[in-house]
């Protein structure tokens, strides 16, 4: 476990090649409001890191910074070995094709059908024939159990269904990194569990690295204590004594700084009063 900043300064690009995402002393402020202040952490390849914090703690900003959608005021961010803080917007588009993002409000294109939303990346890449495209869209919609909605518009779907379509859109090209922004926020417990199961499935079946912003501690604990059984096609709890490593860690933000970066055991064993209150 590491408390607060753990990454040494002045990382070279080659030091970040084996890591999915590295934040090094990142600061961000809007006018006089400090959102992030010297945030440093790393996400290993294949690892899932759940980010917690109260509303306005800068969790979503971490995801947007990682995608290069906004630039930090200070610090460096490496994604798959590329320093996104130094890259031009035109160069970032190529890198973003290796990253999937599930937005908080789904951000589906409301004038396109589910098929066109999910296939957007493949259509843009332009080298996938029509029948292959249709096959891949159906395959990924089957993964999120929404194949029947293929010809529907986003406005015809429920909030949970839109979130699942958003996940399908993010994973259709099997990106190396997925960023989830509150994927279970505002959903009922049953739909939330379905989405957590999808995230666990993506983590365990495809070994995708991911950052997961969430308010729901129980979702992250479920992820840290469960694995996806490909034989039965369902999520199962890890039995005590089992050697299954689900590579899930926790990161807590407070006042723009990281106050915990560790595993589930570190979280439960913490002596920090704020964290104890947070997880209570």
The site for other proteins (CB under 8 A) is made up of 64, 67, 69, 89-90, 93-94, 96-97, 99, 101, 103-105, 107-110, 120-121, 124, 126, 169
Q: How far is the CB of 152 from other proteins (least distance, A)?
A: 17
Q: How far is the CB of 106 from other proteins (least distance, A)?
A: 9
Nearest alpha carbon to residue 170 among 185, 181, 158: 181
Q: What is the CA radius of gyration of the chain?
A: 19
Q: How far is the CB of 78 from other proteins (least distance, A)?
A: 18
Q: Which is nearer to other proteins, 11 or 21 (CB)?
A: 21
Q: Which is nearer to other proteins, 36 or 108 (CB)?
A: 108
Q: Which is nearer to other proteins, 7 or 144 (CB)?
A: 144
Q: How far is the CB of 154 from other proteins (least distance, A)?
A: 10
Q: Which is nearer to other proteins, 109 or 206 (CB)?
A: 109
Q: How far is the CB of 247 from other proteins (least distance, A)?
A: 24
Q: Which is nearer to other proteins, 178 or 252 (CB)?
A: 178
């Amino acid at each position: 476990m590491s408390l607060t900043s753990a990454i040494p300064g002045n990382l070279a690009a080659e030091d970040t090649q084996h890591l999915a995402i590295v934040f090094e002393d990142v600061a961000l402020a809007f006018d006089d409001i400090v959102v992030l202040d010297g945030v440093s952490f790393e996400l290993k390849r294949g690892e899932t890191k759940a980010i917690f914090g109260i509303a306005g703690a800068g969790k979503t900003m971490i995801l947007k910074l990682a995608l290069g959608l906004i630039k930090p005021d200070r610090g460096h961010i490496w994604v798959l070995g590329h320093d996104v803080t130094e890259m031009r917007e035109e160069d970032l588009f190529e890198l973003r094709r290796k990253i999937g993002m599930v937005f908080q409000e789904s951000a589906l294109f409301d004038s396109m059908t589910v098929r066109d939303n999910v296939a957007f990346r493949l259509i843009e890449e332009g080298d996938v024939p029509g029948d292959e495209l249709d096959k891949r869209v159906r395959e990924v919609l089957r993964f999120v159990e929404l194949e029947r909605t293929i010809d529907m518009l986003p406005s015809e779907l429920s909030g949970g269904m839109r979130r699942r379509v958003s996940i399908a859109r993010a994973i259709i090209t099997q990106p190396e990194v997925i960023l989830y922004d509150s994927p279970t926020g505002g959903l009922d417990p049953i739909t939330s569990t379905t989405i957590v199961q999808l995230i666990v499935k993506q983590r365990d079946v495809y070994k995708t690295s991911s950052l997961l912003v969430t308010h729901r501690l129980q979702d992250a604990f479920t992820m840290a204590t469960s694995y996806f059984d490909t034989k039965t096609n369902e999520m199962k709890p890890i039995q005590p004594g089992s050697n299954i490593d689900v590579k899930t860690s926790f990161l807590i933000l407070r006042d723009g700084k990281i106050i915990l970066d560790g595993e589930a055991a570190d979280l439960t064993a913490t002596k920090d009063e704020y964290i104890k209150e947070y997880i209570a």
